Structure 1
Amino acid sequence: MSAPGEPASGKPAPAAKAGIPADTPGPLLHPFARPATPAGSFIRIVSGQGAHVVDDSGRRYVDGLASLWYCAAGHGREKIIEAVAAQLRKLDAFHLFERFTNIPADALAERLAALAPMPHARVFLTTGGSEAVDTAMKLARLAHTVVGEPERTIIISRSPSYHGVTYGGMSLTGLPANRAGFGPGVADIVQVGKDDLDAVAAVMEREPGRVAAVIAEPVIGAGGVHPPHPGYLAGLRDLCDRHGAFLILDEVITGFGRLGSWFGAGHFGVRPDLLTFAKAVTSGYQPLGGVLLGPAVHEPLGRPDVVLRHGGTYSGHPAACAAALANIAVLEDEGLVGRASEVGARLAAGLRSVAATHGLADVRGYGAMWAVDLPSGLDATDIRNRMLSHGVIVRPIGTSTLAFCPPLVIDLADVDLLSAALAAALDVASQAR
């Protein structure tokens, strides 16, 4: 096998993909990309194994962001693949609406309720993180309405933050560029600074009896990887209790082992009322997300006269639930949740070493989720592109931040390669200035 970053065939990647002229855009619109980008500019990933992926020219990369924050169990896991295939052969799909259910959805809900960081949890299943966030918003507002407080519609979110791309998730997201051009968002969203408890308290005092919920990522992810200040999450819990609001923890990235515990809520010792999840629940083998609901939310919804008029066609898809059950078993059986601390400590040490020699503006993170801020004058996308030539994939955030979030199965030698590739890319960039 070729070394990371080297083509197995020794030949360069073809400029054109699938007969499309390399210098013109193809028919596929790529998320978070410029639609005008020529088709020949994209890297076509064709296979993966463990913490590595391979493109169509044979070039091998260390997957330094677990694809998109999700592939905790690594690529090519036969236990997960076989679980999905076996389920598709038995029952390909059937919905959960009204009177219907399926065995994998029931089993997954039971498993998730047992892992939940709140007692007596119930589970609502979706197809991804953005949909999970919208679901949490709706359920929070609905639960208040059912108990006679329909005026509780305000949801407090933070800046920076990332909560998805549906209109609800976009409206909550504290990244102005992600909202630009899409018109009005969902009403009654108030944003405050990411660690400012006083600002949260001020909104609650200014709008007595109107705040439905506060939403926060235990560690901010796509907003730049920002761990919470000590006591901050507990402070949010206290404010919500005092003012009758729900606490929503968005664990789409931090859930299922990324911080060294099943959920960040448990790691930080904070009890949410609602918790959103996706990504590593299946390690990306099937699209699945959902919301864990504590009793303060699901008990009002459980009244005999309440009909929950919310759900998606593929909520509780049996193959997706089978993938989640198999993935959770892999994470548990191989001790990967606990391994996040080892991976993170090694990654942090490497990145801090690069900071000492190359003048990084900041190194921060928690568990196996880290980021660096580049020296002034260097562009994150340019450095990411230079790291690709060294066989490493990371993610630029904004113009100056690079995020690292490798699969939890990654070898420590490959963890070291992440920081070595960063140092090498910075060397070349500095020489080019």
Structure 2
Amino acid sequence: MTTLLTTELSELDKKHFIHPTSSIAQQQAEGPSHIFTEGKGVYLTDTNGHKVIDGMSSLWNVNIGHGVKEMAEAAYEQMSKLAFTSNFSTFSNEPAIRLAEKLSKILPGDLNAVFFTSGGSESNDTAFKLARHYWILKDQPERQKIISRKMSYHGVAMGATSATGLKPFRDFTNANAPHFHYVNSSVEEFRTLVEKEGPETIAAFIAEIVQGAGGVNLPPEGYFKEIRKICDEYGILMIIDEVITGFGRTGKYFAIEHEEIQPDMLCFAKGVTSGYAQLGGVALNDRLHNDFKTLSKGTLLHGYTYSGHPVACNVALKNIEIIERNGLIENAKKMGEELYKGLKYLEEKHEIVTNARGFGLLGGIDIVKDSQSGERFAEYLSPLIVKEAAKLGLILRTVTYDHDSIVFSPPLIINKAEVEQMVNILDQAISNVKREVLKG
């Protein structure tokens, strides 16, 4: 029966379902790699009864783990009372108000006002529009340009795609939005670009503290403090993208707290509901919010149908309660240290593994032909290793935009035994691929 169900669903999948960020050719040739039917804790189970550790929190987002009944109850409770109401024309609802207040308490500094969206791409698009509108209100409409980093990922909406520093995402379309510029993670290069373009033309700088989809790239020491100084010097708004890193992932509520600086805006999504509902947002500091309140005339002509969705906001409130009650931020810090130890062990054991890195429960390793020179294999091996790991019971993600990497982002509930199980499975997967592909 299970085999018949898998076959039926696989054929329907190939015929009707266009998958996001997937190979259409691979889908048509092989069907879906997994059809998941159940999640519990750090585990997922598919239609074949195959149980795997979700080493990526699905898409960096299931922070509290799968199958938490309280989350379903929170959604049911709100749906039973008020499933939806518009928040246009100053209409409002209690969960959205309560969540905005809660976020003002946990967000760093004076990020006290929130605009809600449905996800990360919308959050970053909103930040760009608000930044440009802000400069219109300040009588500096020539400030239109947005600067981001070259290995960054900020989403796939039109503005978010244009801000994404990973070139293959921009090459997907032949008409990116104008006024986006890219720099390496170098303070000097940022200053040079600002001065070349003219600071009076630049609206904002956006960055992830840790670049997720780009390969879990950690920032240079002191980088963000220096960038903040340059932004202040030239009046450029600083937008921090915490879509992946927010809500405990790095061992603090938000990754910016490690840097001890304050952004002007902070974008969030994913971990705010742990994926149990679609929600994102942009938080503004008091200065920007006060300027919007005093300078705006007429209607703020930006909003999404589901901005401040009452069910999603109620789910987010329960998610934050669970994160705090169960000490998941501290657990992310402790288990992140265990994961990093495991990745260093793999680096020491396997000559093809290098650059083990971690930041809370974000981690990564690179696969190389020569660890001394950094020379890569002609054919990337990380996709083969990730595929082998899945067979052995571990879901991970490969990154091959600029280097051959494997990245990690398990749920914040993971324990030491499960971290060790992840490392052991990956160890075996690397050994199997070395034996089969490299004959060694």
Q: Distance in 1 between matches of 2:204 and 2:9?
A: 48
Measured against aligned partners, the alpha-carbon deviations of 1:65-114 in whole angstroms (never above 9, x if no partner) come to 01100011011111111101110010011111013000000000000111
The counterpart of 2:16, out of the listed 24, 27, 41, is 27
Per-residue CA deviation, residues 105-162 of structure 1 (Å, 9 max, x unaligned), is 0000000111121215200000000000000000111111101111111111001010
Is the 8 Å Cα contact of residues 199 and 236 (structure 2) preserved in structure 1?
A: no
- Corresponding residue number in structure 1 for 2:421: 417
Amino acid at match of 1:148: D
Residue 400, structure 1, aligned to residue 404, structure 2? yes
Residue 208 (structure 1) shift: 2.9
1:432 maps to 2:423: no
Rounded to whole Å, the distance in 1 between the matches of 2:24 and 2:163 is: 25
Tell me the secondary structure at the aligned position of residue 20 of structure 1. helix
**SS of aligned partner of 2:200:** coil
- Tell me what 2:187 maps to: 197
| 2:40 equivalent to 1:40 | no
**In structure 2, what is the Cα distance between the partners aligned to 1:50 and 1:260?**
19
Aligned to 2:374: none
Counterpart-to-counterpart distance in 2, 1:262 and 1:293: 17
Matched position secondary structure for 2:427: helix
Residue 147 and residue 384 in structure 1: after superposition, are their counterparts in 2 closer, same or farther (change >3 A)?
same
Contact 2:96–2:308, Cα closer than 8 Å, also in 1? yes
Structure 1 residue 244: deviation in Å? 0.3
Secondary structure of residue in 1 paired with 2:16 = coil
1:263 corresponds to which letter in structure 2?
Answer: F
CA distance in 2, matches of 1:306, 1:202: 38
Following superposition, which runs of at least 4 residues in structure 1 exceed 6 angstroms of deviation? 11-14
Q: Report the 3-state secondary structure (helix = DSSP H, G, I; strand = E; otherwise coil) of the residue aligned with 1:308.
A: coil
Match of 1:145 among 125, 133, 136: 136
User: 1:301-350: CA deviations, max 9, x gaps?
Assistant: 11252521101001111000011000000000111011111111010101
The one-letter code sitting in structure 2 at the alignment partner of 1:401 is S
Offset of residue 15 of structure 1: 5.8
| Contact residue 10 and residue 31 of structure 2 kept, 8 A | no
The offset of 1:296, in angstroms, is 3.0
TM-score normalised by the chain length of structure 2: 0.93
- Structure 2 counterparts to residues 243-392 of structure 1, below 5 A: 243-303=234-294, 305-359=297-351, 360-376=353-369, 377=377, 378-392=380-394
**What is the CA–CA distance in structure 2 between the aligned matches of 1:229 and 1:148, rounded to whole Å?**
35
RMSD: 1.7
- With structure 1 as the length reference, what TM-score do the two structures score? 0.94
- Match of 2:230, SS state, is helix
Deviations 1:328-387 (A, max 9, x none): 000001110111111110101011101101120221121110011113335221111100
Cα contact 1:94–1:318 (8 A) shared by 2: yes
Identity value in percent: 37
The Cα shift of 1:12 comes to 6.6
2: CA distance between counterparts of 1:99 and 1:248?
26
Q: Distance in 2 between matches of 1:130 and 1:276?
A: 9
Q: Which region of structure 1 is more displaced relative to structure 2, 321-330 or 262-271?
A: 262-271
Q: Is the 8 A contact 1:79 1:326 kept in 2?
A: yes
Confirm or deny: 8 A CA contact 1:286 1:320 kept in the other structure. Answer: yes
Contact 1:143-1:298 within 8 A present in 2 as well: no
CA contact (8 A) 2:111 2:283 kept: no
Give the whole-Å Cα distance in 2 for the aligned partners of 1:384 and 1:51. Answer: 17
Say which SS state the counterpart of residue 199 (structure 2) adopts.
coil
1:109 and 2:100 correspond: yes
1:5 alignment partner in structure 2:
none
Report if the CA contact (8 A) 2:336-2:359 is conserved.
yes
Aligned to 2:271, what secondary structure does the other structure show? Answer: helix
User: 1:273, 1:426 → 2: CA distance?
Assistant: 43
Higher helix share: 2
Q: In 1, distance between residues paired with 2:224 and 2:298?
A: 32
- CA distance in 1 between counterparts of 2:36 and 2:98 reads 33
* Structure 2 CA distance for partners of 1:97 and 1:253, relative to 1, 3 Å: same
In terms of mean alpha carbon deviation, does 418-427 or 43-52 score higher? 418-427
Aligned length: 421
> Which residue number in structure 2 is paired with residue 4 of structure 1?
none
Letter in 1 for 2:148: S
Contact 1:96 1:315 in 2 (8 A): yes
Assess if the C-alpha contact under 8 Å between 1:174 and 1:191 holds in 2: yes
Task: Could you tell me which runs of 5 or more consecutive residues in structure 2 were left unpaired when the two chains were aligned.
Answer: 370-376
